[in-house]
């Protein structure tokens, strides 16, 4: 069944791995992406082209891209797969383009403190870089997605002023991003907070220009997605096994687990095109490779059946 009511962006290979302290072999990263591509997922955030001093785990991004583009997943080879990669500045864009990336992700925080901690610049400077990079990437024929961080709270300065969000989202869309992911970096959101935010954003921005990127620190990720879905959002970022977290966001946990999201949506009659059982075995496998407990509740339940 190729009908998809909701599109998932699997961010495990990027957000999921960026905060893991032990160095994961490049071959494991490539294997992870190949296996994920075999579940029916079509958007897989593959890696980042950021400073290797800031995120050493993803320093092998060029190698990862080269391998997955040369030898794409065997079963779904005929499908069009998107492998977006993070590229916050011109150097990131150049490296991503040289590695064969067709889509980049530019990102900015809504809040100053996290912007400084994560990108060593102000929000306005980050947006200026986003704009320069986005324009150049579009010239190069690439697609550009925007992601904003700290939609609800900043790890250093506390709650985010709600009125700060719309201008940043609008600016990313105006500069040419085809959509903007709304990042609850700390995973402190609840359905009510999601609803309040979307009520504001949707007065000016069409639902198909927005996506949800919810971390699951308080176990609210699935609930947040359901509320956002009910309000018209049809695209969500999630991470296999619930891996993830930003090294510069102390206290944040992983992204909502893709397995949990697929379980909820498919059992609500909402088609995702993703093979849940296959995904669960990947979640178990990668958790084992990294040496951490398997973090998806649905995945654990399905595995122990």
Q: Binding residues for Mg ion, per CB under 5 A? A: 15
The reply to whether 214 sits near ligand HMG by the rule CB under 6 A is no
Of the listed pieces 62-70, 91-99, 165-173, 267-275, which binds ligand HMG according to CB under 6 A? 91-99
Using CB under 6 A, which of 55, 65, 173, 276 touches ligand HMG?
55
Nearest to 110 by CA among 150, 70, 51, 144: 150
Of the listed pieces 35-43, 77-85, 116-124, 263-271, which binds ligand HMG according to CB under 6 A? 116-124
Pairing outcome for strands 210-214 and 180-184: parallel
Shortest CB 293 distance to ligand HMG, Å? 22
Q: Are the CB atoms for 175 and 130 separated by under 8 Å?
A: yes
Catalytic residue list contains 246:
yes
Shortest CB 11 distance to ligand HMG, Å? 7
Backbone dihedral angles phi then psi of residue 220, each to the nearest 5 degrees: -105, 0
Q: Per-residue x/- mask for ligand HMG, residues 3 to 22, rule CB under 6 A?
A: ------------x--x----
Alpha-carbon gap, residue 147 to 7, rounded angstroms: 16
Shortest CB 188 distance to ligand HMG, Å? 12
Using CB under 6 A, which of 37, 44, 46, 50 touches ligand HMG?
50
Shortest CB 24 distance to ligand HMG, Å? 16
Alpha-carbon gap, residue 146 to 151, rounded angstroms: 13
**Coil/strand/helix, residue 236:** strand
Alpha-carbon gap, residue 44 to 36, rounded angstroms: 8
Q: Closest CB to Mg ion belongs to which residue?
A: 15
According to DSSP H, which parts of the chain are helical?
A: 17-18, 26-37, 61-70, 90-98, 112-119, 123-139, 165-175, 191-201, 221-230, 258-266, 276-290, 297-303
Using CB atoms within 10 A of its CB, is residue 37 exposed (0-12), middle (13-18) or buried (19+)?
buried
The reply to whether 91 sits near ligand HMG by the rule CB under 6 A is yes
User: Which residues inside 164-183 make contact with ligand HMG, applying CB under 6 A?
Assistant: 183
The reply to whether 283 sits near ligand HMG by the rule CB under 6 A is no
Q: Which of 121, 150, 246, 280 is catalytic?
A: 246
Catalytic residue set = 246
């Amino acid at each position: 069944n190729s009908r998809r009511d909701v599109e998932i962006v699997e961010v495990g290979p990027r957000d999921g791995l960026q905060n893991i302290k032990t160095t994961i072999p490049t071959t494991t990263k490539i294997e992870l992406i190949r296996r994920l591509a075999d579940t029916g997922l079509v958007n897989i955030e593959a890696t980042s082209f950021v400073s290797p001093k800031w995120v050493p785990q993803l320093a092998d991004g060029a190698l990862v891209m080269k391998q997955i583009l040369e030898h794409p997943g065997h079963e779904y080879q005929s499908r069009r797969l998107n492998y977006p990669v993070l590229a916050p500045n011109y150097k990131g864009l150049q490296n991503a383009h040289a590695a064969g990336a067709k889509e980049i992700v530019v990102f900015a925080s809504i809040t100053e403190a996290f912007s400084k901690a994560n990108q060593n610049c102000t929000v306005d400077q980050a947006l200026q870089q986003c704009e320069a990079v986005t324009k150049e990437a579009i010239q190069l024929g690439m697609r550009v997605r925007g992601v904003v961080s700290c939609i609800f709270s900043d790890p250093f300065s506390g709650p985010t002023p709600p009125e700060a969000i719309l201008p940043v989202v609008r600016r990313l869309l105006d500069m040419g991003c085809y959509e903007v992911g709304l990042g609850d970096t700390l995973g402190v959101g609840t359905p009510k907070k999601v609803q309040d935010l979307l009520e504001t954003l949707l007065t000016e921005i069409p639902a198909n220009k927005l996506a949800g990127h919810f971390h699951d620190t308080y176990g609210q990720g699935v609930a947040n997605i359901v509320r956002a879905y009910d309000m018209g959002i049809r695209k969500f970022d999630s991470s296999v096994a619930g891996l993830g977290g930003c090294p510069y966001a102390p206290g944040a946990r992983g992204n909502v687990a893709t397995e949990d999201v697929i379980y909820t949506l498919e059992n609500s009659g909402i088609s995702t095109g993703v093979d849940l059982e296959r995904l669960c075995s990947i979640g178990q496998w990668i958790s084992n490779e990294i040496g951490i407990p398997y973090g998806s509740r649905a995945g654990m339940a399905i595995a122990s059946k």
